[in-house]
Amino acid sequence: MGIVYLGYDPVIERSVAIKTMNAEAFEEEEQKQRFLREARSAGAMQHPNIVTIYEMGMEGDTPYIAMEYVEGQDLTQLIKKGEPESLKEKLAIMAQLCDALDFAHSKEVIHRD
């Protein structure tokens, strides 16, 4: 649904992830409402395994969500590389994932990405 860029907040001197949506797609009411719901839902959650949403806004005609930047590879990249190797590490990752999903579901938020 969107493209994520690495940005920098010079005021508080931190890297941020900026998710944008194509302006043309944002004109479609269903897509606009989905993007807004995503920002509101994620913004209401505070959990160590869920990225923090800092703000949502518009830059010209482009809507954006500014969020916590987490450095490193995503789970898909790690799996493709055959990492982690040990069962203990795999189970630890799965436990964190399940904990985050359980928390989101308790807030009636469904993960879609």
Cα 49 to chain center, whole Å?
11
Model confidence pLDDT, tens digit, residues 52-97: 999 888 888 788 899 999 998 888 888 899 888 899 999 999 999 9
Please give the biggest Cα pair distance in the chain: 48
CATH fold for the domain made of 3-106 = Phosphorylase Kinase; domain 1 (3.30.200)
What tokens appear for 82 in the block?
């055959």
More confident residue, 34 or 77: 77
What are the boundaries of each domain within the chain? 3-106
Which of 61, 74, 99, 113 is flagged as catalytic?
113
113 is catalytic: yes
Q: Is 39:59 a contact under the CB 8 Å cutoff?
A: no
pLDDT band, very low/low/confident/very high, at 99 (cuts 50, 70, 90): very high
